[in-house]
Amino acid sequence: MLVIGLTGGIGSGKSTVSNIFTEFGVPIIDADIVARQVVQPGTNCLQQIAQHFGNTILLENGDLDRKALRKIIFNDENEKKWLEALMHPVIRQEIKHQLGSQSADYCILSSPLLIETHQQELTHRILVVDVDEKTQIDRTSNRDSVPREHVKAIQASQLSRKERLSYANDLIDNSVSLQETHAQVERLHQKYLSLSAEYDSTKQR
């Protein structure tokens, strides 16, 4: 099955665009959701995290204290590397598993760090949702009620706009109205349906 990797910086509009694809019946695998699934209570990953950071990293109900963990890795590059080395292969495996169980014409893997974590290797094309940096900051700080500096720090940990765009096979300019973005998604949906038909016929040959 044809897999489209959907990416973009924080606040660029990935969730907005994913929701529109969902309206067209396209299955979405969201790497952020997978990242939460693999640390559910009872998972090997959560066990290793608790062993490494101590049980104080768990909430009373046994869930991972994501806020506490974010704080640790934000301030300690080595701990961040340790966590990434543990999580990335597990997330990748789970994404592969979920991709394997899809039966639609094509599906979308939505990931803010698609390129940074090499998840694009699991996809056939890269679709970048693009807005300028100021719009990213405006929209995210509005959405999450967080200071602009906070958004800038996350932005700095992601690929630059220019570099991300250099990977794009397809592009959605989301600096426009939601209605116009909807129309862009609809055009891409038609394109992906034709590409998926071509993809399937070459596979059958």
Query: Which residues contribute to the site for ligand ADP (CB under 6 A)?
Result: 8, 10-16, 139, 143, 174, 176-178, 181
Show the tokens assigned to 83.
Answer: 């966590």
CA dist 70 → 31, 83, 163, 187 (Å): 17, 10, 26, 38
Tell the smallest beta-carbon distance from residue 178 to ligand ADP (Å).
5
Q: Which is nearer to ligand ADP, 49 or 107 (CB)?
A: 107
Instruction: Give dist(CA 120, CA 198) in Å, integer.
Output: 20
Tell the smallest beta-carbon distance from residue 186 to ligand ADP (Å).
14
Cβ contact 172:129 at 8 Å = yes
Q: Which is nearer to ligand ADP, 98 or 141 (CB)?
A: 141
Q: Which is nearer to ligand ADP, 16 or 196 (CB)?
A: 16
Q: Which is nearer to ligand ADP, 16 or 123 (CB)?
A: 16
Tell the smallest beta-carbon distance from residue 11 to ligand ADP (Å).
4
Tell the smallest beta-carbon distance from residue 112 to ligand ADP (Å).
7
User: According to DSSP H, which parts of the chain are helical?
Assistant: 14-23, 31-37, 44-53, 66-75, 77-100, 133-144, 148-157, 161-166, 178-204
Q: Which is nearer to ligand ADP, 123 or 158 (CB)?
A: 158
Tell the smallest beta-carbon distance from residue 143 to ligand ADP (Å).
4
Instruction: Give dist(CA 7, CA 4) in Å, integer.
Output: 10
Cβ contact 179:172 at 8 Å = no
Q: What are phi and psi of 107, to 5 degrees?
A: -140, 170
